[in-house]
A and B are shown apart, each in its own frame.
Chain A
Amino acid sequence: MSPLLEIEDLRVSFRTEDGVVGAVDGVSLSVDRDRTLGIVGESGSGKSVTGLTVMGLTRGRSTTISGSVRFDGRELTTASDAELRTVRGNDIAMIFQDPLSSLHPFYTVGRQLTEAVRAHRDVGQGEAHDRAVELMRLVGIPEPEQRMRAYPHEFSGGMRQRAMIAMALVNDPRLLIADEPTTALDVTVQAQILELIGELQKRLGMAVIIVTHDLGVVAEIADDVAVMYAGRIVEQAPKEGLFGAPRHPYTWGLLGSIPRLTAPRDEALVPIAGRPPSLIHPPSGCRFHPRCPYVRPHHTRIDPQLEPTGDPDHDVACLLPDPVRRALWAKLAAGATPQEARATEDEMMGPPTETETETQAGRP
């Protein structure tokens, strides 16, 4: 049996005034029932676009989509708008980052929930209402009957996200896509929401995709993780594999950005130096090379492919030899800075040579 959702070589680009933005560039993913996939990356990595494209929400006159998105065997990229509408909010539901801006400010929460019910079910107002209340209760909103009549701005941040989740779940979706569901929330509330999503997944047997920039969120909830950078997946692994033995320098950077509760308060976060690359004119070769502390000259020419690492289900797209990467991660895990770790790399591979540079330049 094929997975519930299967994405293959998905490419999404937008025509803008400045040029064509290749937001997603050859992404392949899959997620199955009862599983949670975390897609991680910085803003602009294409992770949100991937999620939205599954829903067909990136369609438009200036968008080009290719590749394939199969949901339960149905191809969604070529489905008509009308067909897609029957899937959206029904089989596949989505929740968003900022529940305040994602709920209509002028309509009561109850109305927005019942509307979601009635968009897909031929039921009366009363039945839709009951269903909405049921879901409100399910997601842990106290006094759901009263809260139905309240407006979004009258909810707290956490309650709003619960309401969003309730709205997403009214039609028993088989796949829930959560796009940064906790980013806009307080730290304490974040944990509750993640817990809720995890719990509901188990209860309802859904597949879940969590799109986030925060590896901490992934660590908490995901079964599998895909790390995206500049429109591509650079590392993909089961959670344990990724956190236990990350293979990509970008993943290391992300791991370095996680605030650890165990770490002393004054320990500075180690962000990844540099800015996310332009998606109109992406860097040549390995797209991460301008920011990679371990870059070698030929990395600017050769485009790495996602390849198995040898660990089960663990793929990575990096040009550094695997032993070098293992050694580097060992150093970093021991607390070395990237600069210190780089010395190890040079030790093992020798500093970049003139000839290397020249040959590189001489090649067509």
Chain B
Amino acid sequence: MTRYVIRRLLWVVVLLFLVSALTFVIFFVLPSTDPAALRAGKTRDPEVINAIREQLGLNKPKIEQFWIYLKGIVLHFDFGHSYLNNLNVRDEILSRLPATISLSLGALVIWLFVGISVGIISAVRRRSLMDRAAMGTTLVMISAPVYWLGLVSLLLFSQGIGVIPIFPGSGSYTPLSEDPWKWFTSLILPWLVLSAAFAAIYARILRANMIETLSEDYIRTARAKGLSERRIVLGHALRSAITPIVTLAGLDLGVLLGGAILTETVFNIPGVGRLSYDAIIHGDLPTVQGTVLFGAFFIVILNLVVDIAYAYLDPRVRYT
């Protein structure tokens, strides 16, 4: 197991290198912006543009820029400075991570709770009215674009502009460290909006898994042992059906930690997603690189965590 983890971690390093190289290449091959010219704004003075180019380190050969960048990361964990506002990319990402983590983890809790409950009930009461209603609702949730859902929820429930103004709306995000209660209330709507589609998908997946599991031989065995239905469903069927859900949750969380762009945008939450989106639009390579690397890091690390968790969840899986 240890060897397996070490090997995987080495792969993570290789993968992150490849990702950053690829981002670099994409950035320079595709027609993007000229960061120095953009930073110079209206000015046409070549001296000024060159001074900015020098400040940004863009006067050096591309390979050297990449080398300097990599060296910065490896030696100082330094991801460079934004082309747009000269902010330290690492600090900027780290300062925005709490918002993204708050958003993602809170949504994860909600969608797991809702998705799993609905999935179980629907599977156990298959074809009942409740099952049909739940599955119909999930279809709507899955089809509803997050952005649209966000706007609708704001117009319905947010203070200031909502019809039933019960929750704080866009731009109300407050860090947990500043005011836990405000943090909580300001995130209620974003959590619900972000978790809606996930909860729906998870409910459907879990329902299908449960139905499949409930027809397994070992469930028949459990019944033959005289176990209660509750124990059969929650102890035996759920235990198997939930394994893929755990895997999925890990991966989805990894992706979200890279930034829940749309939700962060509608609710004006200063998270990593917004940062990366703005950076991409304005051709801010260091920030793009930084957010992509952080995002990739979360994806591969959570993937590793999921694989390790899998070995614990499913004793048939062993890594060497």
Give the distance to chain A from B312, nearest Cβ to Cβ, in Å. 10
Query: Closest CB-CB distance, B109 to chain A, in whole Å?
Result: 24
Beta-carbon contact of B227 and A90 below 8 Å: no
Number of A-B residue pairs, CB cutoff 8 Å, is 72
Is B314 an interface residue, CB under 8 A from the partner? yes
B218 at the binding interface (Cβ < 8 Å)? yes
Tell me which residues across on chain A come within 8 A of B224, comparing CB atoms. 55, 57, 88-89, 93-94, 96, 168
Nearest Cβ distance between residue A330 and chain B, in whole angstroms?
43
* A49 interface residue per 8 A CB criterion: no
Scoring A57, A90, A105, A108 by chain B CB atoms within 10 A of each residue's CB, the highest score goes to A105
Cβ proximity bits B228-247 to A, threshold 8 Å, 1 near / 0 not: 11000000100110010000
CA distance A52 to B217 in the complex (A): 12
Query: Residue A119 at the B interface, CB < 8 A?
Result: yes
> B316 in the interface, Cβ–Cβ < 8 Å?
yes
A116 contacts chain B at the CB level, 8 A cutoff: yes
Q: Does B65 contact A (CB under 8 A)?
A: no
Output the nearest chain A residue to B228 by Cβ-Cβ distance: A85
Contact code string B213-226 (vs A, CB < 8 Å = 1, else 0): 00011101111111
Residues of A within 8 A of B243 (CB): 106
Chain B residues numbered 116-143 whose CB sits less than 8 Å from any CB in chain A: none
Does A103 belong to the interface (CB within 8 Å)?
A: yes
Instruction: Tell yes or no: A9 within 8 A of B by CB.
Output: no
Q: Check B222–A104 contact: CB distance below 8 A.
A: yes
The reply to whether the CB of B37 lies closer than 8 angstroms to some CB of chain A is no
Q: Please determine whether A102 and B220 come into contact, CB atoms closer than 8 angstroms.
A: yes
Known A151-B315, A153-B315, A153-B316: A103·B226 in contact at CB below 8 Å: no
Bound Cα distance from A87 to B223, whole angstroms: 11
Chain B residue at minimum C-beta to C-beta distance from A167: B225
> Is residue A120 contacting chain B, with contact meaning CB distance below 8 A?
yes
* A-side interface size class: 20 to 34
B: interface residue count bin:
20 to 34
Within 8 A of A (CB), among B178-228: 216-218, 220-228
The reply on B262 being an interface residue by CB < 8 A is: no
Docked CA distance A108–B315 (Å): 9
- Cβ-neighbour of A116 out of B218, B225, B315 (below 8 A): B225
B305 interfacial by beta-carbon distance below 8 Å? no
Decide yes or no whether A223 CB sits under 8 A from chain B: no
- Which of B216, B218, B222, B313 has the largest count of A CB atoms less than 10 A from its CB? B218
Chain B: CB-nearest residue to A101? B217
- Distance in angstroms between the alpha carbons of A116 and B220 in the assembled complex: 13
Q: Write out, one digit per residue, whether chain B residues 73-95 have a CB within 8 A of any chain A CB (1) or not (0).
A: 00000000000000000000000
Cβ-closest chain B residue relative to A171: B226
Q: Looking across the interface, which residue of chain A has its beta carbon closest to that of B312?
A: A106
Which chain A residues lie closer than 8 Å to B226 at the CB level?
A: 85-90, 116, 119-120
Q: Does A303 contact B (CB under 8 A)?
A: no
Residue pair A96, B220 in contact (C-beta under 8 Å): yes
Nearest CB of chain A from residue B217's CB, rounded to whole Å? 4
Contact assessment for A101 and B225 in the assembled complex, using a CB-CB cutoff below 8 Å:
no
Contact A96 B217 (CB under 8 A): yes
CA gap between A119 and B224 in the complex, in Å: 11
Is residue A72 within 8 Å, beta carbon to beta carbon, of the partner chain?
A: no
Known contacts A96-B220, A106-B240; decide if A89 and B314 are in contact (CB<8 Å).
Answer: no
B227 A101 Cβ-Cβ under 8 A: no
- Give A168 to B217 CA distance when docked, in angstroms: 15
| Assembled-state Cα–Cα distance A105/B228 (Å) | 19
A102 close to B225 (CB less than 8 A): no
The residue in chain B whose Cβ has the minimal distance to the Cβ of A164 is B221
B228 surroundings in chain A (CB, below 8 A) = 85
Is B223 within 8 A of A101, CB to CB? no
Q: Which residues of A contact B236 (CB under 8 A)?
A: 104
Q: Do residues B220 and A105 form an inter-chain contact, with CB atoms below 8 A?
A: no
What CA separation (Å) do A116 and B228 show in the bound complex?
11
Q: Which of A114-133 contact B (CB under 8 A)?
A: 115-116, 119-120
Please, how many angstroms separate the alpha-carbon atoms of A106 and B242 in the complex? 12
Which A residues, 142 to 185, have Cβ-Cβ distances below 8 Å to chain B? 151, 153, 164, 167-168
Interchain CB contact under 8 A, B225 and A115: yes
Inter-chain contact A101/B315, CB cutoff 8 Å: no
Q: Cβ of B240: which chain A residues have Cβ within 8 Å of it?
A: 104-106
Q: Are B218 and A57 touching (Cβ within 8 A)?
A: no
Is A98 among interface residues, defined by CB-CB distance under 8 A?
yes
Enumerate chain B residues within 8 angstroms of A153, measured Cβ to Cβ.
315-316
Roughly how many angstroms separate A88 CA and B217 CA in the complex, as a whole number? 16
Contacts A101-B218, A151-B315 given; does A106 touch B223 at CB 8 Å: no
Q: A151-B315, A153-B315, A153-B316 are in contact. Are A105 and B218 (CB under 8 A)?
A: yes
Please, how many angstroms separate the alpha-carbon atoms of A85 and B226 in the complex?
5
Residues of chain A with a CB closer than 8 A to B220's CB: 52, 57, 96, 102
Residue of A nearest to B315 (CB): A151
| Interface pair A88/B314, CB less than 8 Å apart | no
Given A57-B220, A96-B217, A106 contacting B314 (CB threshold 8 A):
yes
CB of A59 to closest CB in B, whole Å: 10
How far, in whole Å, are A55 and B225 apart by their CA atoms in the complex?
A: 10
Instruction: Scan residues 51-82 of chain A and give those whose CB is less than 8 A from a CB of chain B.
Output: 52, 55, 57, 81
Closest to A59 in B: B223
- Give the docked Cα–Cα distance between A107 and B216 (Å): 15
Interface CB pairs A-B, < 8 A, 30:
A57-B224, A81-B229, A87-B226, A88-B223, A96-B217, A96-B224, A98-B217, A101-B216, A101-B218, A102-B217, A102-B221, A103-B218, A104-B218, A104-B236, A104-B239, A105-B240, A105-B314, A105-B316, A106-B239, A106-B243, A106-B313, A108-B315, A115-B225, A116-B225, A116-B226, A151-B315, A153-B315, A164-B221, A167-B221, A168-B224
The 5 closest A-B pairs by CB, nearest first: A89-B226, A88-B226, A89-B225, A101-B217, A102-B217
Given contacts A96-B217, A102-B218, A105-B316, 15 further A-B contacts (CB under 8 A): A55-B223, A57-B220, A57-B223, A88-B224, A88-B226, A89-B226, A93-B224, A101-B216, A101-B218, A102-B217, A102-B220, A102-B221, A105-B218, A115-B227, A116-B225
